[in-house]
Amino acid sequence: MSNVLVVLEFSDGKLKSSCLPGITCAKQIADANGGELHFLVLAADPASLAQGVASAGLGATTVHTMANPAFEPFTAEAWADGIVAAIRATNATAVGGTASSSLRDALPRAAALLDAPLTSEVTAVGANAVLTRPISAGRALLDQASSGAVSFFTARGAEFPATDSGGAAASIAVLAPVDVSARGVTVVDIQKTQSTRPALSEADVIVSGGRGMREGENFKILEELTDLLGGALGASRAATDAGMVPADLQVGQTGKIVAPNLYIAVAISGAIQHLAGMKGSNTIVAVNKDAEAPIFQVADYGLVGKWEDELPKIIALVKAVKAG
Amino acid sequence: MKILVTVKRIPDPDESLKFADGGVDYSSSKWVPNAFDEYAVETALRLAEVAGSKDRLAEVIVMSVCPQGQRQHVTQFLAMGADRGVVVDADDSTLDSIAISKLIAEVARREEVDLVIAGKLSQDNEGNQIPQRVGGLLDWPQACFAAEIRREKDARELTVSREVDDGVEIKKVPLPAVLSVDLRVVLPTSVSNGVTAADHRYQEGARLASLRGITMAKRKKVQIFTPDELGVQNSGSETTRAINPPPTRPSGQMVASAEELVEKLKTEAKVL
């Protein structure tokens, strides 16, 4: 059997929706290999979490659970130990999930412990489970084949649809507890970004601002458009480096990779590293005073103009559309 | 304290790629240091030095896997202020992530370093996995995507703020440990070592080499190893089948006014 094991993450007792694209990718790998889809739940008390995902019918045949207080809060050290033990117990041949900050942290560590290859940020699954991933800020796509007893992957969330629920329920298998260790680390605090808006990775609409916004105060007009459209606020690296907005709003190779239905880039020139983070978006709108800005090369709709002039007009017009 | 910083040369990310025979032709590329590695060296120097004094709290060793005749980037980092270099003489494009990680782990063991600092990812390969692997191979704790690093005077632990999906996680790691750094680590007050004045502000970004640094760099020691000498072979478990250009986006249209834009978003793109 060549079964694929997906490492799941939970928040407030519920499966994180960011896991769903990773499950879709894993299902494609399982289908390409002729194997089954399995889930892994690592938690202090995984029973009810596992029950929830097993009954949701997300395409897995088995949900494996491993209980250990050291799994909470997340540390790459303890999770890598748990993942390695789970692979040994389940004989999975491929292991992965959505490329979240946690799995990017823990999976390569686990792969090293098993001397196994890892393909990061997978965007497509080909025949014989050859995995495609972007390199050089998305300017090239690399097709990678892996061999050996087990291989690892992380799937780029923006590139796979969310898995549907409502399929057959999965069975639950309790894995024997093993010793895991956080290697002496302590998670002191997790400072969550407070926002009433959807997460960048999940938003249907993103409005982003760049260096041309000049200062953080000017992002208020972008926030107005963002909230009008029910979207998330983003920014280019130039804007976050300048401290206009918090760093976790950054879209790009060095920030978040997003692919919303509508991406509106305001006063963003379009550096390669920014384009790498958003060019998978369905419809791209660019507003920039410089007609030569590279952002216009990827935009579906480009408007040359100052944001100070154009944004108030756009907001008024969108309000009129929304008012029907 | 000893700090090992991993550095890599990459084809200039601002040059366009030349696709040929199912791969990319880098033969005429200009090679530059990976930006995240510049941040890693800057981080190590801020941990090691006492700003405004010649005192050093740590030795900084830069390590690269590259053909030994093409190690200008190592010289550049020595000119920035690293103390010495280690070069593993090999064509890094022929080695996979498993092998590179083992080379780094082996050098860290032989040098008995207290800390390995790496950039979050290389701008060309974008694997984002080497530091995590090195942590696993050495069985050391790790703090990846570091945006802030604090060390108390003489402490055998670091407090690291890490960029995570929904905010910032603060993690205490005992030494020895492995760090990977994100770009905010080079803001003026992101790194403190407990000895440099708490209100000291560094320049934003990685420092430039001084003329004196450039002269000194030529005299600094660079030790050369081969992968064989370090007992590492390529794993052969990762194979690149092809490298292709991404599909191009159909070209868009320029609109003349905000009115035209919103009208088209409503009726043509149907996204409002």
For every residue of B17-67, DSSP letters joined together read P-EETTEE--TTPPEEE-HHHHHHHHHHHHHHB-TTSS-BSSEEEEEEEE-
Q: Crossing angle, helix A101-113 and helix A76-90, to 10 degrees?
A: 60
Reported pTM: 0.93
Rounded Cα distance between A283 and A265, Å, is: 11
Closest-CA residue of B relative to A323 is B272
Q: Which parts of chain B have pLDDT scores under 70?
A: none
Assess whether pLDDT exceeds 80 at residue A85: yes
Assess whether pLDDT exceeds 90 at residue A158: no
Contact A300 B252 (CB under 8 A): yes
Touching B: A residues 166-225, CB under 8 Å: 182-193, 199, 201, 205
Q: pLDDT value at position B37?
A: 97
- Which of A125, A155, A174 is the C-terminal boundary of a domain? A174
Q: pLDDT value at position B106?
A: 98
Whether B272 maps to a domain, the answer reads no
pLDDT in tens, A11-39: 999 999 999 999 999 999 999 999 999 99
Whether A198 maps to a domain, the answer reads no
Of B88, B61, B66, nearest to B232 (Cα)? Answer: B88
3-state secondary structure of B103: helix
Whether B40 maps to a domain, the answer reads yes
Q: Is B142:B135 a contact under the CB 8 Å cutoff? A: yes
Q: Cβ of B241 under 8 Å from any chain A Cβ? A: yes
- Per-residue pLDDT, averaged over A167-182, amounts to 96
Q: Are residues A168 and A232 in the same domain?
A: no
Q: Cβ of B13 under 8 Å from any chain A Cβ? A: yes
- Per-residue pLDDT, averaged over A143-152, amounts to 96
Q: Which domain holds residue B255?
A: 2-267
Rounded Cα distance between B11 and B16, Å, is: 10
Touching A: B residues 120-159, CB under 8 Å: 120, 123-130, 132-137, 139-145, 147, 159
Whether A15 maps to a domain, the answer reads yes
Q: Are residues A216 and A133 in the same domain?
A: no
Closest-CA residue of B relative to A229 is B272
Burial class (CB in 10 A: 0-12, 13-18, 19+), B198: exposed
Assess whether pLDDT exceeds 70 at residue A1: no
Q: H or E element: which one contains B119?
A: strand B115-119
By percentage, how much of chain B surpasses pLDDT 70?
A: 100
- Per-residue pLDDT, averaged over A71-90, amounts to 98
Whether A191 maps to a domain, the answer reads no
pLDDT in tens, A247-275: 889 999 888 889 999 999 999 999 998 99
Of B18, B10, B95, B6, nearest to B43 (Cα)? Answer: B6
Whether A183 maps to a domain, the answer reads no
Q: Which residue has the tokens 């632990």?
A: B157
Closest-CA residue of A relative to B239 is A145
Of A206, A13, A76, A46, nearest to B141 (Cα)? Answer: A76
Q: Which domain holds residue A209?
A: 205-323
How does the average pLDDT of chain A come out, rounded? 95
Domain of B79, CATH number, reads: 3.40.50.620
Whether B41 maps to a domain, the answer reads yes
Task: Using alpha carbons, list the distances in angstroms from residue A198 to A99, A260, B224.
Answer: 18, 12, 51
pLDDT in tens, B78-134: 999 999 999 999 999 999 999 999 999 999 999 999 999 999 999 999 999 999 999
Q: Are residues A248 and A305 in the same domain?
A: yes
pLDDT in tens, B213-224: 999 999 999 999
Closest-CA residue of B relative to A206 is B271
Q: pLDDT value at position A215?
A: 96
Q: pLDDT value at position A88?
A: 97
pLDDT in tens, A36-59: 999 999 999 999 999 999 999 999
Of A135, A87, A145, nearest to A111 (Cα)? Answer: A87
Q: Is A253:A136 a contact under the CB 8 Å cutoff? A: no
Whether A48 maps to a domain, the answer reads yes
Contact A76 B258 (CB under 8 A): no
Contact A137 B126 (CB under 8 A): yes
Contact A247 B137 (CB under 8 A): no
Domain of A11, CATH number, reads: 3.40.50.620
Q: H or E element: which one contains A21?
A: helix A19-33
Q: Is the dihedral of CA B185, A154, A256, A272 positive or negative?
A: positive
Number of domains in chain B: 1
Whether A282 maps to a domain, the answer reads yes
Number of domains in chain A: 2
